[in-house]
Amino acid sequence: MKQGKNTFILSFLVAPVLLYLVFVIVPYLGSMIFAFTRWKGLSANIRFNGINNFIKLWDDENFWNALSHNAIAVVLLPIVTISIALVFAFWFTQGVRGSRFFRIAFFFPQVMSVVIIAVLWSFIYNPQFGVLNGIIKLLGIKAWESFPWLGDSATIFWCILVVVVWQSIGFYMVLFIAGMMGIPTEYYEAAKLDGASLPVVFFQVTIPLLWETVRTGLVFIAIAAMDLYAMVMVITSGRIAATSRAADVLSTYIYETAFENGDFSYGIAMAVVMMFIILGLSFFTLTSTRKEVLEY
């Protein structure tokens, strides 16, 4: 039986571990090495390059420009999305009538593919036939009725952030609803006996008891804010440079550098920086939001 057990364990692990090593671990480790090389084009001509890629990054305006957009997203998306999602979740768990319909509607963008959402919203923002300018026209605001939302470098990235919020609310709302359902009703009943108003219940009962779930949500969305590749690529139809890089994020710049310009090692170096930022962000979010956990 002992012999049988080891054969069994080995036979169950070998295929998945192999697959995982080849397609995930080897590429990750490979990148850690290639970031310190000079490797352009499809030639096998790879040379050690020390930290030169990172020095070049430091002086690369486009890199800082892309990173600044990620920074805006990392600060704003968690605040806006988590706040709205928390409020919606609170209303729906406190017995707002029709909450089932609202829940289904609000969550739906989450099951549409990101690409579809980006295509749809690029139409909504379209200066000639888009719904947004259609509404502006109905409201009679002449100055704005043919404003090119995605064609103007001052508005394009904000327009994208709106779409990301629109899409993500549902996920965090459902996440928080699930968490709120786990809070024992005694807490609410006690608050009610004390005559607490809804806002007081929200800030003093729900939020503290839900804190662990809120932290999870904050990490999720901070990581998502560092990506944004599909959304930015599709909503701009890939014409990022055309709008003076006003919507460029780290991921799109990495893709452009590595796969369009063939500067592999430089793109990889950027991805390494991206990795450290994400690790740092997760660490920072988790430590700065640590509180004494309330057990219930």
211 to each of 158, 180, 203, 220, 289, how far by Cα in Å?
29, 10, 11, 14, 9
Q: How far is the CB of 216 from other proteins (least distance, A)?
A: 5
Nearer to other proteins, 48 or 129 (CB): 129
User: Closest Cα to residue 169, out of 235, 110, 100?
Assistant: 110
Q: Does 239 bind other proteins (CB under 8 A)?
A: yes
**Binding of residue 294 to other proteins (CB under 8 A):** no
Exactly one of 41, 50, 134, 184 binds other proteins (CB under 8 A); that residue is 134
Q: Where in 32-91 is the site for other proteins (CB under 8 A)?
A: 34, 88, 91
What are the helix and strand counts (H, E) for the chain?
Answer: 14, 2
DSSP 243: G
- Shortest separation between residue 186's beta carbon and other proteins, angstroms: 13
Is residue 66 helix, strand or coil? helix
Q: Is 125 in the site for other proteins (CB under 8 A)?
A: no
- The answer to whether 5 contacts other proteins (rule: CB under 8 A) is yes
| SS3 state of residue 48 | strand
The one segment of 47-55, 57-65, 70-78, 261-269 that binds other proteins by CB under 8 A: 261-269
Choose the stretch contacting other proteins; rule: CB under 8 A; options: 55-63, 67-75, 140-148, 255-263. 255-263
Both tokens of 42, joined, read 């499809």
Residues in 157-196 at the binding interface with other proteins, rule: CB under 8 A: 166, 169, 171, 174-175, 178-179, 182, 188, 192
Nearer to other proteins, 9 or 75 (CB): 9
Mark the segment that binds other proteins (CB under 8 A) among 12-20, 49-57, 61-69, 141-149: 12-20
Per CB under 8 A, which region of 54-62, 141-149, 232-240, 284-292 contacts other proteins? 232-240
d(CA 105, CA 246): 32
227 lies in the binding site for other proteins (CB under 8 A):
yes
Give the footprint of other proteins on residues 89-118 (CB under 8 A). Answer: 91, 94-96, 98, 101-102, 104-116, 118
**By CB under 8 A, is residue 4 in contact with other proteins?**
yes
Cβ atoms of 86 and 176 closer than 8 Å = yes
Does 9 participate in binding other proteins (rule CB under 8 A)? yes
151-160: which pairs have CB atoms within 8 A and are 24 or more residues apart?
A: 151/127, 151/243, 152/243, 153/243, 153/244, 153/246, 154/246, 156/236, 156/243, 156/246, 156/247, 157/69, 157/72, 157/246, 157/247, 159/121, 159/125, 159/235, 160/228, 160/231, 160/232, 160/235, 160/247
